[in-house]
Amino acid sequence: MGETVYLSLGSNRGDRAFYLQQATEQLSQMAGMSLVAASSIYVSKPIGCAPECAQFLNQVLKFNCTLQPTQLLDQTERLERRLGRTVKGDNADRIIDIDIILFGDRVVKNTRLEIPHPRLTDRAFVLLPLHEIAPDAKDPRTEALLTELLARVGDQPVTPYGGISRDE
């Protein structure tokens, strides 16, 4: 049967909407992955990126997943490379970034992976689209509802996507 998994997608280089679409299609075609829902696309300013970084397009996807967490991480990292991501790191532009946000109600922490995503509670650009498709979801570490977490992040600038796809 599998578990409910939420993945966050982000892109701030090239045809950002195209990269989100490609990632969604390829994730949906992976063995062990069945797409259940996709949030709207949002625009956000980069956090922890050089000042010249372009704005991000962000989206959250909900899957039914039969993979184990590290298997899913391996698959998402391969997909990022296949789509052209060559640099990993917090301060770099990204053609595509795929993060595992929630994996059922599991809490996982090892040298390669932390679930829930360690910065889930700090990022409106993840919480807002996640809340759109999973309004009753909770942080399994604290049991805090998404509405509580959204109230805590304040007024981080996240707006609905208006159709601009190339770097701004």
Residue 162, number of CB atoms within 10 A of its CB: 7
Residue 166 falls inside a structural domain: no
Cβ neighbors of 143 (< 8 A, separation 6 or more) are none
Residue 50 falls inside a structural domain: yes
- Residue 10 tokens, joined: 């982000």
Q: How far apart are the first and last CA of the chain?
A: 42
N residues, the chain: 168
Please give the pLDDT value at position 82: 92
Please give the pLDDT value at position 91: 61
Please state the domain count of the chain.
1
Total H helices, total E strands in the chain: 4, 8
Cα 98 to Cα 77: distance, rounded to the nearest angstrom: 8
- Residue 38 tokens, joined: 């996709």
Domain that holds residue 71: 3-160
Residue-by-residue pLDDT tens, the chain, 168 positions: 789 999 999 998 889 999 999 999 999 999 999 999 999 999 988 776 666 778 889 999 999 999 999 999 999 999 999 998 776 665 667 889 999 999 999 999 999 999 998 888 888 899 999 999 999 999 999 999 988 988 888 777 787 787 654 444
Please give the pLDDT value at position 87: 66
Could you tell me which of 47, 130, 124, 60 has the C-alpha nearest to residue 93?
47
Cα 5 to Cα 138: distance, rounded to the nearest angstrom: 13
Residue 133 falls inside a structural domain: yes
* CATH code for the domain in which residue 131 is found: 3.30.70.560
Please give the pLDDT value at position 46: 78
